[in-house]
DNA sequence: CAAGATTGAACCCTCAATCTTA
DNA sequence: TAAGATTGAGGGTTCAATCTTG
């Protein structure tokens, strides 16, 4: 049997460089922003996301099912996460007719209030700041193509 | 006490759009590539990274410590991961004088050989393909600035 | 002691199975 | 039965504590 070229064509040096830079930057930016928020408040990225959603879109309380949908979370993921957040005193859950209602505690409100400006500053410092206006425009259109 | 402007300046609509697009694209591209590799071989992203490193840079065997350094992994992370990979039959570990030697099994070699072209194709399909040559050039320089 | 490695706990995510109840 | 929610198992990561051995 002849060599079937099973290895197809490997990534060229240019392709590899872009791939590695992409992976590196994705990880780095995410980690830096998460670290800033965590240092200031103890909140993880998902904690911040959940609290922000419930406080801003629901005034501090929201149906668990609606929360899952609006965040693109599977039921089980949200259930597991809320269990942990509840144990840390960030939220409470209450049986509410046809579903469960998630209620942000005072501690949860305080944490997210502290986190908000830290998050904005972190996004500016670690993502927006290093880019020129032209970079930002190109990047936005290109990112949208990648997610499509 | 007057309002202290505790909320600093929130992200503008443009800033928010770029931040969201960034998060979205980071997650999407990573997930798609990982899904392709997993579907073809059952390997996770870290599995593929470890096997590639040991096979390509070490010919199939490498000191655990050296592996950790070359991958930027903390000792404990690598230890936990190798324990799982060992249970799945992808590698073996052997006491070797001043450290532990990681050895890729035949099953590990087979898996990474299958994964390699799938990975290259996935990177092209999900990252490189949707971009123009100009996009790629801009993106590379911009990503390097973000990681710096 | 110091370096290499392991371990346990806590966090996070996914999948599949289960429970509950209208 | 179907929707909302939980649970358990298994994979992944981090941190701090520990073990081991030159």
pLDDT single digits (tens) B29-79: 999 999 999 999 999 999 999 999 999 999 999 999 999 999 999 999 999
d(CA A6, CA A142): 32
Q: How many CA atoms lie within 13 A of B132 on its CB side?
A: 7
Q: Residue A19's pLDDT is what?
A: 97
- The pLDDT tens digits for A89-146 are 999 999 988 899 999 999 999 999 999 999 999 999 999 999 999 999 999 999 999 9
Whether A7 has a pLDDT exceeding 80, the answer reads no
d(CA B140, CA B144): 6
Percent residues over pLDDT 90 in chain A: 92
Contact B64, B101 (CB under 8 A): yes
Q: Residue B97's pLDDT is what?
A: 82
User: Best mutation site among A11, A12, A25 for testing chain B: the one with the most B CBs within 10 Å?
Assistant: A25
* 0.95 surpassed by pTM: no
CB contact under 8 A, A120 and B18: no
Whether B7 has a pLDDT exceeding 80, the answer reads no
Q: Which residues contact B29 (CB under 8 A, 6 or more apart)?
A: A22, A26, A146, B126, B127
What's the Å distance between residue B82 CA and nucleotide C19 C1'? 37
Q: What is the mean pLDDT of residues B81-101?
A: 94
Residue with tokens 């505790």: B6
Mean pLDDT of chain A: 94
Of B6, B14, B131, the CB nearest to A142: B131
Q: Which residue of A has its CA nearest to B19?
A: A123
Contact A64, B57 (CB under 8 A): no
Contact B108, B91 (CB under 8 A): yes
d(CA B41, CA A76): 26
Whether A17 has a pLDDT exceeding 60, the answer reads yes
Q: Residue B148's pLDDT is what?
A: 86
Q: Residue B3's pLDDT is what?
A: 38
Residue B109, CB, strand C, below 7 Å: no
CB contact under 8 A, A25 and B140: no
Residue A23, CB, strand C, below 7 Å: no
DSSP state of B132: -
Whether B1 has a pLDDT exceeding 50, the answer reads no
What is the least distance, in Å, from the CA of B144 to any CA of chain A? Answer: 6
């Amino acid at each position: 049997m002849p060599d079937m070229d099973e290895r197809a064509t490997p990534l060229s040096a240019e392709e590899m460089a872009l791939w590695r830079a992409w992976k590196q930057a994705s990880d780095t930016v995410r980690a830096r922003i998460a670290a800033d928020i965590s240092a200031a408040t103890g909140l993880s990225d998902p904690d911040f996301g959940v609290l922000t959603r419930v406080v801003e879109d629901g005034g501090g309380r929201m149906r668990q099912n609606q929360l899952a949908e609006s965040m693109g979370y599977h039921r089980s993921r949200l259930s597991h996460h809320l269990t942990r957040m509840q144990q840390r005193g960030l939220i409470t859950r209450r049986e509410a007719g046809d579903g469960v209602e998630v209620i942000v505690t005072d501690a949860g409100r305080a944490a997210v209030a502290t986190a908000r400006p830290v998050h904005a500053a972190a996004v500016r410092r670690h993502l927006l700041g290093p880019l020129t206006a032209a970079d930002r425009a190109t990047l936005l259109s290109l990112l949208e193509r990648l997610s499509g």
